[in-house]
Amino acid sequence: MMEFRDLKAQYQRYKEEIDKAIQKVLVDASFIGGAEIKRLEDRLAEYVGVKHCITCANGTDAMSLVMMAWDIKEGDAVFIPDFTFFSTGEVVAFRGATPVFVDVDRNTFNIDTVKLEEAIQRTLDKGKLTPKAIIPVDLYGLPADHFEIDRIAKKYNLLVLEDGAQGFGGSINGKRACSFGDAATTSFFPAKPLGCYGDGGAIFTDNDELAELINSLKVHGKGDSKYDNIRIGLNSRLDTIQAAVLNVKLTAFIEHELDDVNRVYKLYTERLSDVVEIPVIPEGFHSSFAQYTIKLKNKEERDALQVKLKEVNIPSMVYYVKPMHKQRAFAEYENADSDFEVTNELCDKVLSLPMHPYLKEKEIIMISTVISKRIYR
């Protein structure tokens, strides 16, 4: 059976190292805050190119901790892409603030910077909310247009939180994902470019004060110790076993996985570029390919192709079937469907194919052949 993201193949390749790393934690019995945590944070910060990496329980908590540290609250507006996973908007609403959804670029799937500035100006003109922050998402592994987003943020004096849950390993002109904005976050959910064996997340920043505050907030708002609580916080720590697994996987990611997944991208592209709309990687951008997502002509063609792939045991996924502005949990916010033309279209046309560093060329040929025959039937 072909895997959508083959964690089994990855484990078999690194079984000895992973088992040994886990066993060491079991023997040491240092399950929370063990030495592997500090080692991982130092390595992640160095790889990304920032001063501070703070690990936590999951990617959603990572964003929530930044929202807390920035005191995002009721009456604030935070601008996010309409085409993304629910948690990006959830962390804003959880603080009582208002997520303002922005349509995305059809080619990159990331937030449309022209429409972003229009949304900020429209919010200012209405005068009901105070624009505070932008959360651009590095969707499918491709960094958002961060340099332009930074320009817009400076113009309107807004904070920027890079949601790099899918973007870890991507880059723009050599500057790595999770190093953009005032802070950045990522997720170590197993299927992410760098994933653990459960939940996990991290925050990245060059800001010393922000790092200190988040380190407090993630452990019940601790002061000098966990029994000296100086603010209200969360209980959000990455456990040592997950850090041990991630330290092994990070080495693999740096040594070959990022290169291998881009090799898979090129093989797909060679076979599908004349068949369907393939991912667009702008000049200077490098993707870590959390997903390889194609676009079909319409929903009927997309759904029919997915059925055909399933018939021959090829897994595929639709990310995402419903825009943020149509989620029932966000029904209280004012959103005109006509403002999200691209997102509405993408939700009907996108299909993500198997994508991981261990995908074999013969599997890529098989997938591509099925797609070609279905499209040109």
- The confidence score (pLDDT) of residue 1 equals 79
Q: Over range 111-128, report the average pLDDT.
A: 98
Determine the straight-line distance between the first and last CA of the chain, rounded to whole angstroms: 25
Do residues 31 and 240 make contact, with C-beta atoms less than 8 angstroms apart? yes
Q: Which two tokens stand for residue 114?
A: 């022209």
Do residues 181 and 161 make contact, with C-beta atoms less than 8 angstroms apart? yes
Give every CB contact of residue 2 below 8 A, 6+ residues apart in sequence.
313, 314, 315, 354, 363
Share of residues in the chain with pLDDT > 90 (%)? 97
Per residue in 313-370, pLDDT tens?
A: 999 999 999 999 999 999 999 899 999 999 999 999 999 999 999 999 999 999 999 9
Q: Over range 177-182, report the average pLDDT.
A: 98
Per residue in 238-254, pLDDT tens?
A: 999 999 999 999 999 99
Domains, in order of start, for the chain: 7-102+110-248 (3.40.640.10), 256-375 (3.90.1150.10)
Per residue in 278-322, pLDDT tens?
A: 999 999 999 999 999 999 999 999 999 999 999 999 999 999 999
Task: Tell me how far apart the alpha carbons of residues 58 and 44 are, in angstroms, rounded to a whole number.
Answer: 15
Q: Over range 138-163, report the average pLDDT.
A: 98
Do residues 368 and 272 make contact, with C-beta atoms less than 8 angstroms apart? yes
Task: Tell me how far apart the alpha carbons of residues 304 and 289 are, in angstroms, rounded to a whole number.
Answer: 24
Size (the chain), residues: 377
